[in-house]
Structure formats: structure tokens, C-alpha cells
Structure 1
Amino acid sequence: MELTGTIGSLIGKKGGQVWSLDPAASVYDAITMMAEKEVGALPILDGRNLLGIVSERDYARKVILMGRSSKDTTVTDIMSSPVVSVSPSQTIEECMRIITEKRIRHLPVMESGRIVGMVSIGDLVKWVITAQQETIRHLESYIAGTPAY
């Protein structure tokens, strides 16, 4: 695992399960699903079309701080759009740069116009840490003169 590994590889290890919501869903529905699925953001899909993404950050800033009701507000009222997305062929390093520059925490992975996965900053950091651990293990084996396993 290296920083030049692809998002497709990460999705392959993580799994490509994507939970999403319809544009008519309430913010309450979104928060409930995020809690149940233990995710921090959900794509908003109209059929196969990605309209936006709603995150815990959107909820905090656009519902709670604005005094809105989560049951009376739709996800389209608070979602972030247009969405920054990536393709499975992009590298981990490219995605780390995008997330850092755009100050976002989640990236939908799109292929042929449809969403095939979601990656978070946590997924990317976990990949980098694992890659560093593998590099250290290989270097230790090299220094010790033992074969890497």
C-alpha cells in the first residue's frame, strides 16, 4: 500500500457499499441514517444522478445554528452542491490533496456517471498509516537481513 495506490484499490479493500438518500428526504432522516450506518455524510441521488452530499457539518451549520427543524427541512435545502468527486483511477495522494485544498471530509467515487463508493478522510489516513507500517516492516527486514513476509 502506497500513496500512489488508487482509490479503486481502497474501495476494493473497504467495500463499495454506499448509502444514499432521495432529494425529498428530511434532514432528520439523513441524521438517523448517518447514525445507523456510522457514516458522516450521505450522497443525495435522484435516480442515478448525484445531486449533492449532506454531512454532519451541513447539519450543524445549516440546521442547528440557523434554528431550523430537522424534520421540516429537506436534505436538498442544506446539501453541498456541486459535489467534488473522484474516479477509481485517482491516487490516494491526489485525493488527500483534494480533501485538504477543498476543506472537505468525504469524496464520492464516480465511474461512468454513477457512484461506486465513498471515501472519507479517515479512510485515506488509514491507508497511509498502513502503507507506512508496511514500509517500516520491509526496512526492518532488510536491515536485519531476514526475508520480508
Structure 2
Amino acid sequence: MQQQLRSIMTSNVFTVNETQSIQEAAAVMSEHNIGAVPVVNNNGGIVGIITDRDITLRSTAQGEAAQTPVSQVMTAQQIVQGSPDMDVHQAAELMAQQQIRRLPVVENGQIVGMVALGDIAVDNQYDNEAEEALTSISTPSAPQK
């Protein structure tokens, strides 16, 4: 039986605008205890994603100021995303292939949810998918610049 992402995604998604500072993005992450925040433009369309790792490696480690715009450190190239109607198995496979732990869920150009590897792992019927995804995600890759 296929299960859609809409049934497991977090629909209360916190976002930041691409012009906000990395300090503001970090504050959102800290306040809501999350490790990734989708980045949106003024129309609400997703233009990137910023993670706690992005802030650490692409700003703090490089000596960037806390007021650096999110757009300078976010991941923006080919944002991997799913749709609410996507099957959970497909999402887990996509996350494994792309080595990502969090998948923005987009509908009509707007972010409507987020699915984390943990969301898939908590459902016993997806134990194998979660394990395979984590194995692929954990394979070392070259750092992005």
C-alpha cells in the first residue's frame, strides 16, 4: 500500500527570506529546534535551503559576519524537492540518491511541508527505506563550495 508524503510531512514549516541574515536563520533554527530552514523569495517560492551545517561551514568557518545574507550561504543549486502526492518509498529513494536528510515538499511553487529522514524512520513499514537512505546519505562526499 502506497503512502503519500502528505501523511508524514511536517506541515508547519518555518522559512526565512533570502535577504534575511544568517543570524536570523540561526535564531529560527534555535527557537524551533530544527536543523534546516527553507529559503523563500518575496513571492513565497522556495529558492534554497539553509542548514546549521551551511551556517557553520560556509559562514562561521570562513569568518563571515552574522549579518551576512542567507542567500550567500544557502544551498540554491537544483533544490531537491518532493510533492505531497509523492510516495514515501520514492521520497526515501530520492533522499538516498541525493544524500539529503531533509526534503522540502512543494505544491504549486509554494512550500507546504518538510520530510526528514526521521519522519520516514519512525514508521515501522519504512525501516528498510530509512536504513538504505541513511547508509547512502552517510557515504562521504566532497564538501560543496
Rounded to whole Å, the distance in 2 between the matches of 1:89 and 1:36 is 30
Query: Is it true that 1:68 corresponds to 2:64 in the alignment?
Result: yes
In the alignment, what sits opposite 1:50? 46
**What is the CA distance between 1:72 and its match in structure 2?**
2.5
Rounded to whole Å, the distance in 2 between the matches of 1:43 and 1:90 is 19
**What is the CA distance between 1:57 and its match in structure 2?**
1.7
Query: Is it true that 1:8 corresponds to 2:6 in the alignment?
Result: yes
Matched residue of 2:17: which SS?
coil
Amino acid at match of 1:118: M
Amino acid at match of 2:54: D
In the alignment, what sits opposite 1:110? 106
Segments ≥4 residues shifted beyond 4 Å: none
Q: Structure 1 or 2: larger helix share?
A: 1
The structure with the largest alpha-carbon Rg is 1
Q: How many residues align?
A: 125
Query: Is it true that 1:79 corresponds to 2:77 in the alignment?
Result: no
Choose the corresponding residue for 2:12, options 8, 17, 41: 17
Query: Is it true that 1:28 corresponds to 2:26 in the alignment?
Result: no
In the alignment, what sits opposite 1:121? 117
In the alignment, what sits opposite 1:95? 91
Give the structure-1-normalised TM-score: 0.77
Instruction: List gaps (5 residues or longer) in structure 2.
Output: 128-145
**What is the CA distance between 1:65 and its match in structure 2?**
2.2
In the alignment, what sits opposite 2:141? none
Rounded to whole Å, the distance in 2 between the matches of 1:57 and 1:99 is 17
Matched residue of 1:72: which SS?
coil
Instruction: List gaps (5 residues or longer) in structure 1.
Output: 134-149
